[in-house]
């Protein structure tokens, strides 16, 4: 089945220690998103890629970076995690055009704990 996969599902890191979360998709979608979701809150968009074009949200801290080496993979790098960065990180994809316009398909998320 076509899907969005996130690894790992649970990640524990130490304060200030860089961490990378990964997302892969078999949907062949052009657009990939990274969201941060804190406990029972709305997902907050950090950035997205439209193909190779990177679009950063204005209020996303510089501590958060992303890479998309190819259509299938996208990475979220947190350079120096703080306690406030503990959250669920959601990856999503979408494909512009047609009946699927703007429908986002989410992965299961990676829950990040910062000690």
Binding site for other proteins (CB under 8 A): 4, 6, 40-43, 45, 88, 90-92, 101-109, 111
Q: How far is the CB of 102 from other proteins (least distance, A)?
A: 5
Beta strands in the chain (DSSP E): 4-7, 10-13, 19-25, 31-37, 44-50, 53-56, 64-67, 73-78, 87-94, 105-106, 110-114
β pairing state of 31-37 and 87-94? antiparallel
Residue closer to other proteins (CB basis): 75 or 105: 105
The smaller minimum CB distance to other proteins, of residues 53 and 80, is found at 53
State the minimum distance, in angstroms, from the CB of residue 112 to other proteins. 13
The Cα–Cα gap between 64 and 79 comes to 7
CB of 106 to other proteins, least distance (A): 3
């Amino acid at each position: 089945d076509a899907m969005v996969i996130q690894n790992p599902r649970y990640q524990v890191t130490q304060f200030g220690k860089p961490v990378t979360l990964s997302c892969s998709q078999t949907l062949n979608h052009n657009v990939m998103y990274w969201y941060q979701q804190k406990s029972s809150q709305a997902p907050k968009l950090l950035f997205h890629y439209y193909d190779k074009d990177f679009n950063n949200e204005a209020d996303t801290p510089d501590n958060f970076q992303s890479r998309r080496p190819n259509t299938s993979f996208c990475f979220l790098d947190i350079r120096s995690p703080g306690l406030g960065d503990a959250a669920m990180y959601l990856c999503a994809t979408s494909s512009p055009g047609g009946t699927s316009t703007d429908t986002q398909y989410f992965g299961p998320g990676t829950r990040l704990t910062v000690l």
